[in-house]
Every structure is written in C-alpha cells, then in structure tokens.
Amino acid sequence: MSRSSDPLRPGDHIDSPEAPAWQPGDPKLGVRGWARFLWRQLTSMRTAIVLLLLLAIAAVPGSLVPQRSSDPNGVIQVRQNNPGMVWLYDALSLHDVYTSPWFSAIYILLFTSLVGCVIPRLTHHWKAMRALPPRTPARLSRLVGFQTVAGDASDLERAERVLRKLGYRTTRYGDSVSAERGYLRETGNLLFHISMLALLLVVGPGSGFGYSGQRLLVEGTGFANTLSSYDSFDAARWFDEDEIEPFAVALDDLEVVYETDNPNAIGAPLDFTANVSVTEDGAERDAQIKVNEPLSVAGADLYLISNGYAPRISVRDASGQVVYDQYTPFLAQDDQMTSLGVIKLPDGLEEQLGLRGFFYPTAVTLETGALASAYPDLAAPVLSLQAFTGDLGLDAGIPRSVYALQTDGMTQIAGGDSGAASLTIPLGQSIDIPGGLGTITFEDVRRYGVIDVKVDQTQEPVLWITVVLVVSLLASLLIPRRRMWVKATPAGLELAGLARGEDPTLERAVDDLGKRIGQPAPAREAGAVDPAAAGRERRMDP
Amino acid sequence: MTPSDLDSFSLLLVYSAMAVYTVAFIAYAVDVARRSAAKPVAAEARVLVGAGAPLEPVTVAPGAAKPGRGARVGYVLTVLAWILHVGGAVLRGLAGGRVPWANMYEFALTGVAVILGVFILSRLWRDLNFLGVFMSGLATVCLGVATLNFYVPPTPLPPALQTYWLVIHVFVATLATGFFALGSGLSILQLIKERRDSGFLRSLPSGVQLEDLAYRVSVVGFIFWTFTLIAGAIWAEHAWGRYWGWDTKEVWTFIIWVIYAGYIHARATRGWRGSRSAWLQIVGLTAILFNFTVVNLFFKGLHAYSGL
C-alpha cells in the first residue's frame, strides 16, 4: 500500500514506519551523516516533547520570584530583604525570567525544531494535495469496517459520486474507487504551527515599537501628549519621539460609586467612571474611560489605572501671605481610602517645612484615640499631618520622590515624639504651625485618576494570528483524515476504510457509506471482528 | 427574599448535594466491590468485544459483568445531587445578582458542577459509569473543601470583573477543567489497569480504549483551554492595557497549556504513547488544581479575586 500521500511526520511519530536499527556492519557516519543525525534528533517528536516540558518547567520560577515586568515593587522588596542573594538573582536573571538567556534558549530550540519539522511537511503536503488517492489494497478485508454490499462494477460511478458529495477526492483504479478526504487536517496542523511561529516573530520585534506613559490627573486638570508631561514613561527600543500623537486630555470629573446596601461589602467600589475632554485635531469632544473600557485616541489607548484623593492644602506665613496652595495627590493605603501624602516647602517660610500625614475621607476616632477611615467616600474628610523643619535635602541635586520625605536632618515639630500633637484639620478649617511659622488650611478635596497611555502595534496582528491559530487548531484536531475504498467483486461491492491519524468515527463512516450505496449483503455479521485483526489495525492506524 | 436568604438556601442545597454525592459514592463503591467478585471469564468476553468494536458504545455481551444495580443507583443519585448542586449555584448567582463564579468559593462550586455535568452528559456518548467512584468522590471532597475553606458571603462584582468576559473566559476555563478532569480519571484507571488487571479492573474497557477515551476528552479540554487563554488575553488588554504580562495566573495558564500540548504530542509519539502520556495528562490536571488553589491563595498577582 502506498503511503506517499500520507502526511510527512518526524521519524518517531506513531504513524511513521519504524527505522531499522543500526547494525554493526552498516557504514559509519561521516560529518554530514552526523549533521543529518543531529538535525533529525532536533526535529523529532521526542525532542519537541522534552522541550515543551522544559518550557513548562522553566516558566515556573517566574511565578515564584517577582518579575521586573509585572511586579517591579516586589523586585525592589526582594532585593532589599536578601542583599546577600542579589548576585544570584542577577546571575540567573531571576527577575527577568521570560527574557533570560536560558528561557530564550529553550523556546528558540523549540521553534527551531518546529521549523525543521514544518518545512519538509509543507512541501510534502503541497505535493500530496495534488496527488491522486493511493492504489486500492489487494485485500480490503484487513481494513476497518470491511463489508460487502449488493452491487457490481456498474455501481462504481454512483459510489464515486456519493464519495465526492461527502467531500472525498476520488479516482478509479480498474474496478475499484479509491477515495481520500481530510487534507484540511494536515493543513490545519501546519497552519497552527506556523501561527505559533508568526506569533513569536510579531511579538518579538513588534514590541520594539510603541510606548506607554502614565499621568496622574486631578479633577479639573489635563495634559498634552508630550514626553515631558508624563509622570513616568516607558519607550520601546525603536520608539521615535516624533511619532508621538498630538492630543490633549483633561479629567473633568471622576465618578466613583460605592456599595451602600450589602452588609458584607459596604464601601466596596462598584464603578469608576472618568469623564474626560479629548482634544484631537483641533476639535474637542467629551468621552469616558472606565475599568475594562479604555478610550482610543489617535492610535493610543487610554486606561484608568487607579484613583485617589488630592486635598487642596494652603500654607500661609506668619504675616498671612499665601506661600503654598495646591491640590496634592495622596496615595491610597487601604480599601477605606486612608491616604498617605507629603508636602515640601523649601521656600517662603522662615525655615524649610516638610509635612507628612494621612487623609481620611470619612474620619472616625478609634478607642486608642487614633484616627481611621471608616468609609471610602467623602463623609467627614480630615487631614492629620506631622510637621518637620530643617533641611529637606532638595538642594543636593539628588532626585527625590515627591511621595517620600527624608526626615534624617530634620526636627519634628508636630506629631510623633515631638511632644506636640499632629496637625489634625477637618475640611475647611485652619491650624497654626507650632513655632509661629504660620498656618495650614485644608481648603478642598478632589479626586484624581491615574491614566495609562499605551501604544502597542502588535495588538491587532496578534489578534488576527490567534484567530487563525484557533481555527487551524480545530481543523487539525477535529477533521478526520481517512481513506475509503469501494471495490467491485463477484460477491458484490467491498467497502473498507483506513484512518490516517486519530479517527474514532471511521467505522461508522464506512457503515454510512455502505447504506448510501447499497443494501448490506446477508454475509456480513455485525460486530464480528476478530480481536487479532483489531489489534493489528491499531498498530497500523492509531 | 433578601440576598442573604437566597445565599442560605443556596448553602442548604449545596450541603444536600454533598450528602447525596456521598451516598452516590457509596453506591458506586458497592458496585465496584460487586464487580470485583464477578467471574473473570465473563469480563474477558466484554473486553474483547470492546476492543473489536471501539466505535460502538461499549455494550455488554450477554453474560458479562453488567454495570450492576449499584452503578445505576450511583448514577441516578449523582444526577439528583447534581440537580441540587446546580440549584445551589443558581441561587448563589441570584443572591449576588450576577454569574456565580466571581470568587474562589463560587468558582469551586460552579467548577465542580461543570465537571460533574460533563460526566453526567458523557453518558449520552459513552457509558463511563466506571468513573463514578472517582467523580462522586471528587465532587464530595471538592465541595467539602470549598464550603469549609473558601466560603465568603456574596458581594457585588468589583469594576474589573464587570464585563461579559467574566462570563466567557471563566466559564470556558471551568468547562476545560471539566473535560481535563474526566480525562484524568480515565488516565488514572488506564495506569492502574496497566499495573494490575484483576478484580473490578477486569470489567473495565481495555487500557488502550481507556487511553483513546482519555485522549479524546482531553483534546476537547485543550481546545477550550486555548480559548480560555486567548479570551483572557483579550480581557487583559481591555482591563490592564496589555494582552500578556506574565502575571502569575497567566504564567500558570501558559504552563498548563504547554503541558497539554506536550501530552498531545506524546500521544502521537512512539515510546511515549501509553503510560507516559497518561502521566502527562495527570501532571496537567495537577497543575490546574495547583493553579486554582496554591496560586490563588499564596501567589501575588493581578488575579486577586479569591475573596479570601
């Protein structure tokens, strides 16, 4: 029986003929022989399995150790907690597992193996799709679903028509019809593997373009899409600053809805809606950004990432002159939106002043006398600040985070161990700064939203590739590749099928064909297949 | 009826379902014991017929060890327990005013219902009643763990979960898990049967047949899992601004996908077909259970929806 139109498989595929073992008398391998041997090993199924399992194992450490890409703060924490192990983390790229040399080595080998396997199969399949179905075997009785139905050579034409209607490619060999179907199975298989490769090729270089930036916006403020207006900005390797799309976005207001009824979830956020004004090509329009509903502006996607409160705090000097008056973002620390913030006043007062403290949207006093927030919405907003005087350390030229106060060289004048109480200010009220420096007023409070701006050119091609990937996977796993023969004999029309690959419904298909082209002859006993034949069938056609 | 009343009724139904699953387990176990005592000759005949006609439903030749009354009672009880179970899941959804798979307790509740649903419906295709002990036992244990360790009162959906992707992505993931679990049950039996083929095991389909069934079921699971992965990526793009970020849950979904890809290759490879590929299938399900329990509870990541 010809196997020429079978899909080409690696040597150790279950459908491939077993290669003869090396005999002592066989010629030795030369350089070319060895190269061939190694290539065959690399493109074998066994190697693919081992590499797949290695890939699975190699992905595990990335879920155990914080990664720079997904958890940068975790990375910093791990390194601070284990200073003695930092060299090991770096030597093994444990914070960048998925771009590490060892992880890359595994998937590059896997894809090399894949390419080596797919290319010969592509050319083979191309030829197979144009080849005629193989010759009819001499003895159909050894094949699956063998049966004899009433009919003779004059029925073969009708049989051929029926088979064609069922999607088979047919040809005549003497007084028999040979048919084959399911070429799409191999097409799907090849296409699936090619899409995997395409995915890698698109994501790899594709992620070298585009950018992502983050900007905090207090209600009533906006920003223009330029590099300098971002709080943080990540440019891809080949990002060109001139390509940045000109648009502007202003946050008009941020609506947050909290649960008020369910006793198990009072204060749980139910909805975040950022109402924004977008200026694009000179025209302004209103738009919304919600969680799960990004806003698309000029090829960039805008996401609402987080939110918080920005109290407006003003500071007057001893003579009543305003030296500071700003909405200052505080960072939320818990579900009740207890928020931490810092204000630095290097100029304006007699001494440099640093303020650090909490904002409570709904302040309650605990039994210990400490303040806490009982609800995330603004029911009873209170600020509680510690004050420090001395050197803020801003003149040394070292970049300092606006959310951290370096108090090493400073004297605490309110809160903590200073002897004076923290400066607790309900909304709309003022308090004197100890030492007669001036007064602090809690003027107002607004919400802020953090907007992520992302440009990723790989998104669309990746989506299309995954569509192809799924469709081809379905084809390669669910379409049966099978052969069918109808042979005219004196006893009637003999029918039998042969599976090429997994094909659990082949026997049913032969029975069905039998019903379509004739009446079963009484000779056939249903289910009377001898076990030895079943075993043999299995070895040939899993 | 208030949401908390609905939730109480839901819990009542779930506890009842657990009780009935337990009785079903006992019925199945009695059947196994009875089948162990069946005459080996009869069992032989059944295996041969099975091997010769792998495409027919595994019908029992006259005189062979039929699935006894125990198995039939077990199946009926499993169906009854499942109806109670699904009722519990539906009431839980009504209590929350949303789909009942938004935290770990609900995911376990619905996930086990889907697994058992796949098992019950597989009856239409093939008689897999010999998996009854495994399936009813699994349901009892999983529901026990879920109600004892994962239970939280129903809470509204956080904004990140308020999208139809929750319905698609999570439900298809449980469906995939259901098929993989069924496949694992078959693979476990296959491995046991390869070691020791006596007693109850003689009344089962042959090792090769078990392997074929396991493979077919797992392939369906793999297709659903692939879809889960892609749907998750699309959702991640909407919610977090990137389709893939190696978040811990993404990593483990990827690992599971790769393991089952390995399994599908192993099944088609000389030297790997048989017990080796069966082991891979079981490793895959272990990774799924690990992903659901350990990764949910102890790993840091963006998928922090356990509610615990």
Pick the residue from chain B with its C-alpha nearest to A292.
B239
**In angstroms, what separates the C-alpha of A250 from chain B's closest C-alpha?**
20
Whether B307 is covered by a domain: the verdict is: no
- pLDDT band for position B48 (cuts 50, 70, 90): very low
What total number of domains does chain B contain? 1
Could you give phi then psi for residue A210, rounded to 5 degrees?
Answer: 90, 180
Query: Out of B158, B246, B280, whose CB is closest to A269?
Result: B158
Q: pLDDT, tens digit, for every residue of B7-38?
A: 999 999 999 999 999 999 999 998 888 877 76
CA distance B55 to B126: 10
CA distance A524 to B102: 57
Pick the residue from chain A with its C-alpha nearest to B160.
A291
Residues B113 and B52 sit within 8 Å (Cβ to Cβ): no
The per-residue pLDDT for A417 is 83
Structural domain containing residue A528? 140-182+480-540
From chain A, the residues in CB contact with B222 under 8 A are 477
The per-residue pLDDT for A404 is 86
Residue with tokens 């076990």: A531
Pick the residue from chain B with its C-alpha nearest to A473.
B223
Q: pLDDT, tens digit, for every residue of A297-317?
A: 988 999 999 999 999 999 999
The per-residue pLDDT for B26 is 94
From chain B, the residues in CB contact with A533 under 8 A are 52
Is residue A175 scored above 50 in pLDDT?
A: yes
Whether A172 is covered by a domain: the verdict is: yes
The conformation of residue B99, written as its DSSP 8-state character, comes to -
Query: In angstroms, what CA-CA distances link A327 with A3, A377, A432, A448?
Result: 78, 18, 20, 10
- pLDDT band for position A529 (cuts 50, 70, 90): very low
CB contact under 8 A, A531 and B52: yes
A415 shares a domain with A485: no
Percent of chain B with pLDDT over 70: 90
* Interface probe, candidates B222, B228, B269, chain A, greatest A C-beta count within 10 A: B269
From chain A, the residues in CB contact with B266 under 8 A are 49
Is residue B56 scored above 80 in pLDDT?
A: no
Residues A324 and A346 sit within 8 Å (Cβ to Cβ): no
* Interface probe, candidates B44, B163, B255, B297, chain A, greatest A C-beta count within 10 A: B255
Nearest to A52 by CA among A113, A120, A117: A113
A227 shares a domain with A261: yes
The per-residue pLDDT for A22 is 66
Is residue A531 scored above 70 in pLDDT?
A: no
Burial of A122 (0-12, 13-18, 19+ CB in 10 A): middle
Whether A393 is covered by a domain: the verdict is: yes
CB contact under 8 A, A534 and B51: yes
The per-residue pLDDT for B67 is 58
A111 shares a domain with A48: yes
A435 shares a domain with A347: yes
Amino acid of residue B155: T
Q: pLDDT, tens digit, for every residue of A202-255?
A: 998 888 888 999 999 999 999 999 988 999 898 888 888 888 888 999 999 999
Is residue B63 scored above 50 in pLDDT?
A: no
E strand residue ranges, A154-268 = 169-173, 176-181, 211-218, 221-224, 232-235, 247-258
- Interface A–B counts its CB contacts (< 8 A) at 171
Query: Out of B264, B269, B301, whose CB is closest to A46?
Result: B269
Name residues whose C-beta falls within 8 Å of residue A441's C-beta, 6 or more positions apart in sequence.
A313, A314, A315, A316, A425, A429, A430
Name residues whose C-beta falls within 8 Å of residue A236's C-beta, 6 or more positions apart in sequence.
A207, A208, A209, A210, A211
Is residue A330 scored above 60 in pLDDT?
A: yes
Structural domain containing residue B111? 3-298
The overall average pLDDT reported for chain A is: 88
A166: left (phi over 0), alpha (psi -120 to 50) or beta: alpha
Query: In chain B, helix, strand, coil percent, each to 5?
Result: 75, 0, 25
The per-residue pLDDT for B38 is 62
CA distance A201 to A198: 5
Partners of residue B21 on adjacent β-strands:
none
What total number of domains does chain A contain? 4
What residues 230-249 of chain B have any CB closer than 8 A to a CB of chain A? 230, 233-235, 237-248
The per-residue pLDDT for B44 is 42
**In angstroms, what separates the C-alpha of A251 from chain B's closest C-alpha?**
19
Where residue A505 sits, what CATH number does that domain have? 3.30.310
Q: pLDDT, tens digit, for every residue of B244-288?
A: 989 999 999 999 999 999 999 999 888 889 899 999 999 999 999
Among A338-352, A380-394, A437-451, A516-530, the minimum mean pLDDT is found in: A516-530
A493 shares a domain with A418: no
CA distance B44 to B35: 13
The per-residue pLDDT for B65 is 47
Nearest to B213 by CA among B54, B59, B79, B47: B54
A413 shares a domain with A494: no
- pLDDT band for position B50 (cuts 50, 70, 90): very low
Q: Mean pLDDT, to the nearest integer, of A104-126?
A: 93
CA distance A236 to A230: 15
The per-residue pLDDT for B41 is 46
Query: Out of B219, B259, B302, whose CB is closest to A477?
Result: B219
CA distance B236 to A455: 15
Query: In chain A, helix, strand, coil percent, each to 5?
Result: 30, 35, 35
- pLDDT band for position A524 (cuts 50, 70, 90): very low
Q: pLDDT, tens digit, for every residue of A190-201?
A: 999 999 999 999
Nearest to B131 by CA among B47, B278, B19, B29: B29
Whether B303 is covered by a domain: the verdict is: no
The pair of three-digit structure tokens given for residue A375, joined into one six-digit string: 């609800």
Give the Cβ contact number of residue A375 at 10 Å.
Answer: 19
Whether A80 is covered by a domain: the verdict is: yes
Residues B25 and B133 sit within 8 Å (Cβ to Cβ): yes
Q: Mean pLDDT, to the nearest integer, of B205-234?
A: 94
A396 shares a domain with A275: no
Query: In angstroms, what CA-CA distances link B226 with B48, B108, B218?
Result: 36, 21, 12
Is residue B202 scored above 50 in pLDDT?
A: yes
From chain A, the residues in CB contact with B299 under 8 A are 63-64
Query: Out of A62, A71, A262, whose CB is closest to B156?
Result: A262
How far from chain centre, in Å, is Cα A356? 39
Burial of B54 (0-12, 13-18, 19+ CB in 10 A): buried
Angle at CA B53, nearest 5°, toward B51 and B54? 70
User: If you compute the radius of gyration of chain B from its CA atoms, what whole number of angstroms results?
Assistant: 20
CA distance B106 to B260: 26
Whether B157 is covered by a domain: the verdict is: yes
Give the Cβ contact number of residue A339 at 10 Å.
Answer: 23
CA distance A538 to A507: 13
Pick the residue from chain B with its C-alpha nearest to A453.
B241
Whether B306 is covered by a domain: the verdict is: no
Partners of residue A483 on adjacent β-strands:
A180, A498
- pLDDT band for position B295 (cuts 50, 70, 90): confident
Pick the residue from chain B with its C-alpha nearest to A290.
B159
A328 shares a domain with A269: no
The per-residue pLDDT for A5 is 65
Could you give phi then psi for residue A102, rounded to 5 degrees?
Answer: -70, -35
Query: Out of A271, A538, A542, whose CB is closest to B159?
Result: A271
- pLDDT band for position B39 (cuts 50, 70, 90): low
The per-residue pLDDT for A208 is 86
CA distance B21 to A157: 58
Query: Out of B163, B245, B280, whose CB is closest to A70?
Result: B245
Whether B304 is covered by a domain: the verdict is: no
The per-residue pLDDT for B2 is 81
A486 shares a domain with A394: no
Query: Out of B156, B233, B234, whose CB is closest to A259?
Result: B156
Residues B190 and B207 sit within 8 Å (Cβ to Cβ): yes
The overall average pLDDT reported for chain B is: 86
The per-residue pLDDT for A4 is 52
If one compares A72 and B55, the residue with the highest pLDDT of the two is A72
Whether A13 is covered by a domain: the verdict is: no
DSSP A378-430: SSB-EEEEEEEEE--S-TT-----TT----TTEEEEESTTSSSPPEEEETT-E
The per-residue pLDDT for A395 is 77
Q: pLDDT, tens digit, for every residue of B118-153?
A: 999 988 888 888 899 999 999 999 999 999 999 999
Is residue A3 scored above 70 in pLDDT?
A: no
User: If you compute the radius of gyration of chain A from its CA atoms, what whole number of angstroms results?
Assistant: 37
Is residue B55 scored above 90 in pLDDT?
A: no
- pLDDT band for position A16 (cuts 50, 70, 90): confident
A275 shares a domain with A364: no
The pair of three-digit structure tokens given for residue B18, joined into one six-digit string: 């657990």
Pick the residue from chain A with its C-alpha nearest to B280.
A53
A244 shares a domain with A175: no
* Interface probe, candidates B48, B157, B246, chain A, greatest A C-beta count within 10 A: B246
Could you give phi then psi for residue A530, rounded to 5 degrees?
Answer: -80, 145
The per-residue pLDDT for A541 is 35
Is residue A170 scored above 80 in pLDDT?
A: yes
Nearest to A440 by CA among A373, A379, A353, A380: A353
The per-residue pLDDT for A261 is 85
Cα four-point dihedral sign A451, A452, A457, A458: negative
Residues B135 and B25 sit within 8 Å (Cβ to Cβ): no
Amino acid of residue B249: K
pTM reported for the whole predicted model: 0.87
A428 shares a domain with A325: yes
